[in-house]
Amino acid sequence: MGTEQPPAAWPEELTEVFERSATAEYASLTRSGRPVTVPVSPYVGEGRRTLDVSTGLTYPSKADRARANPKVSLLYADSIGEGAAGRPVVLVQGHAAVRDADLQANTDRYMERSAVKYPATIKGVPGPVLGRMGYYCVRIWIEVTPLRVLWWPSHRLDEEPREWLAPADVDRPASDPPPAGSSPPPWRRPPDDWRPVAGYALEHLGLRDLTTVGVDGYPVCAPVTLGPLEGDGLAVQVGPGGPHLVPGPACCNFHSHAEVFAGQENRTLVGELEAGPDGYRFTVARALGDWSAPGNKARVALAFLAKGPRLGPRLKAEAARRGQSVPKVRLPRSR
């Protein structure tokens, strides 16, 4: 007999979305309260109490933002892949807890979970090559306790959402203690000109979402339809049943990946959302640096290896800030 699954801390009908979605949009807040949204690989947490994402130890900004302000959101709206287009769109607003007190356990967990969910990403990759990719595979884990969940049956968001709220006394775990010293600067310089970034994204990347900050301080992220670039901005349309997007600081994300997930490509623009008589308009201020890995597996592997010389020195420094040695990247048992 198999082990019976514990009840989930969210409506059971949404578990398939959380387990099978190839990507989710993870939104966190800067110290000034501006949203930053990026596509991530989502997992269902152990015990089905949390929805988890991770970030590389060498680029910890996603975790740093969550440690400073644990109000985050996850949008599950990826329509690429078998069965994905028929799944509901789900917005989760929750409480983030950052886990980096045991980097070896985090790394082992990441390798095991990603090998099961994304087998194409490591199939055929030699162990010695994986072992050299600590700058990517050594992980900080972020566990998100859902507090409010909205979901829509269609990507058009043409109906009012269903809503679930966590019990008022739900546990909101604290993050692990912060590491000593200062976080490293961004590893990649953002583009000087956002216009080529926007032009490329509008032409090539079909998954688009926009994030603002709700009146309760939580990020609100929704799939949107964008008009052509006009001047310094884009017209934004959200379905009639979609969440209310509060005008103010905003983040617009574009991404895509292959039907069988082996890597992804994304672009991120930040700016301001304005509301007018004809709808929303997103005014672009700048583009953020991105870590995209488009193309076939060989191109993805080469792209990752090429980043090693720049990120490798940060790996030892970030582990030392946490009083730990650099973890080993080990082949998962499930491989």
Query: If you average pLDDT over residues 85-96, what whole number do you get?
Result: 97
- The answer to whether residue 332 is domain-embedded is no
Number of continuous H segments (helices) and E segments (strands) in the chain: 8, 15
Per-residue pLDDT tens digits for 26-36: 999 999 999 99
- When divided into structural domains, the chain yields a total of 1
Look at residue 116 and tell me if it is in a domain: yes
pLDDT computed for residue 77 by the predictor: 97
DSSP string, 50-115: -EEEEEETTSTHHHHHHHH--EEEEEE----STTGGGSPEEEEEEEEEEE-S-HHHHHHHHHHHHH
pLDDT value at residue 311: 83
Q: Are residues 247 and 103 in contact, defined by beta-carbon separation less than 8 angstroms?
A: no
pLDDT of residue 3: 61
Residues 6+ apart with CB under 8 A from 216: none
Query: What pLDDT does 156 receive?
Result: 94
Q: What pLDDT is stored for residue 120 in this prediction? A: 84
**Tokens standing for 130?**
């994986």
Lowest-confidence pick of 9-13, 104-108, 277-281? 277-281
**What span, in angstroms and rounded, lies between the C-alpha atoms of 14 and 8?**
10
Q: What does the pLDDT look like over 35-89, one tens digit per residue?
A: 999 999 999 998 999 999 999 999 999 999 999 999 999 999 999 999 999 999 9
Q: What is the pTM of this model?
A: 0.94
Q: What is the CATH number of the domain that holds 164?
A: 2.30.110.10
pLDDT tens track for 172-192: 999 999 999 988 888 778 899
Higher model confidence: residue 266 or residue 312? Answer: 266
Q: Is 303 helix (H, G, I), strand (E, B) or coil?
A: helix
Is the pLDDT at 209 greater than 90, yes or no?
A: yes
Range of the domain at 179: 12-321
| Residue 329 within any structural domain of the chain | no
Q: How many CB atoms lie within 10 A of CB 184?
A: 17
C-beta separation of 237 from 225 below 8 A: yes
Q: Which residue has the higher pLDDT, 302 or 290?
A: 290
Distance CA 130, CA 181 (A): 29
- Mean pLDDT (the chain) is 92
What is the number of residues in the chain? 335
Does residue 148 form part of some domain? yes
Residue closest to 206 by CA, chosen among 256, 267, 154, 156: 256
pLDDT of residue 128: 79
pLDDT at residue 296 tops 80: no
- Asked whether residue 235 is domain-assigned, the answer is yes
pLDDT confidence tier of residue 5, bands split at 50, 70 and 90 = confident
At 207, list the tokens. Answer: 């998954």
**Are 155 and 129 within 8 A, CB to CB?**
no
Residue 203: band (very low, low, confident or very high) from pLDDT cuts 50, 70, 90: very high
pLDDT > 80? residue 119: yes
pLDDT tens per residue, range 244-259? 999 999 999 999 999 9
Choice among 147-156, 180-189, 199-208, 280-289 with the minimum mean pLDDT: 180-189
What is the rounded average pLDDT of the residues 120-131?
78
Give a yes or no: residue 102 inside a domain.
yes
Residue 1 scores a pLDDT above 50: no
CA distance 284 to 210: 12
pLDDT at 140 (0 to 100):
98
Token couple for 246: 């509060």
Task: Please state the rounded mean pLDDT for residues 219-228.
Answer: 97
Q: Is residue 193 part of a domain?
A: yes
330 inside domain: no
Which residues 6+ apart lie within 8 Å of 176 measured at CB? 97, 98, 99, 100, 101
CB 326 within 8 A of CB 134: yes
